[in-house]
Structure 1
Amino acid sequence: MAISIITKEDLQQFKAELLEAIEALLKRNTTEQKLWLRTSEVKKLLSISSGTLQNLRINGTLSYSKIGGTLYYNYKDIEKLMKGFKD
C-alpha cells in the first residue's frame, strides 16, 4: 500500500477547483430558468391568486404576452416585481 502525502498546496488547489465547479453549477442553474412563464407558474412563484395576478395585469404592474389564448409572462419582469415588493 502506497502512502501519499497531501500538502497544503494540494488542499488549496482542490479548494480552487471545487469552488470553480460550484460556481459553474450555479451559473448553469440560473441560465436554465425559463424566460417565459405561464399563468400557473407565475401564481406559484409569487404565491398569489388568479385574481391578484389579473389585477397586476389590469393595472399594468406586470406585462404579459398572449399567444394563442395562453398568457405568458417574462421572468425578468417578474424579478423586477419581486424586487419592488422587497423594497
Structure 2
Amino acid sequence: MNVELITRGDLEQLKQELIEEIRRSNPHPRKQGNEPKVYLKSYEVRKLLGISAGTLQNLRVNGTLPFKKIGGLMYYRYEDIQNLMEGDR
C-alpha cells in the first residue's frame, strides 16, 4: 500500500492556491466607485437595513432573505436585499 504524508506546509500551500483560484474565478470582484458589492456580510446587511442581529436571523429562518454560508460566515446578495426593501418578496 502506498502511503503519503501531508504536512502542515502542504495544507497551507493548498489553502493559498484555493484562495487564489477563488479570486481569479470571481466574475464580480469588489466593484469600484459608488457601486455596491455583489455580496454583503451580516454586519453590512444589518447596517444597511438598520436591524438587529436577531431580526436578521428571523429573516434567514423564515426564508425572507436568502443567504449562503461559507466558512462560518453568512453572505447575502445585494440584489436580494434590494428586492426585500422594495417589497418584491
TM-score by length of 1: 0.61
Pairwise CA distance, 1:77: 0.1
| Runs of 4 or more above 3 Å deviation | none
Give the helix-richer structure, 1 or 2: 1
TM-score by length of 2: 0.60
Structure with bigger gyration radius: 1
Among all aligned residue pairs of Structure 1 and Structure 2, give the percentage whose two residues are the same amino acid.
61
**Do structure 1's residue 45 and structure 2's residue 48 form an aligned pair?**
yes
**Do structure 1's residue 82 and structure 2's residue 85 form an aligned pair?**
yes
List runs of 5+ in structure 1 lacking aligned partners: 1-27
Q: Take 2:36 and 2:55, find their aligned partners in 1: how far apart are those partners?
A: 23
Number of aligned residue pairs: give it. Answer: 56
Q: Write the letter of the residue equivalent to 1:78.
A: I
List runs of 5+ in structure 2 lacking aligned partners: 1-32
**Which structure 2 residues correspond to residues 8-87 of structure 1 after superposition, within 5 A?**
29=34, 32-84=35-87
SS at match of 1:72: strand
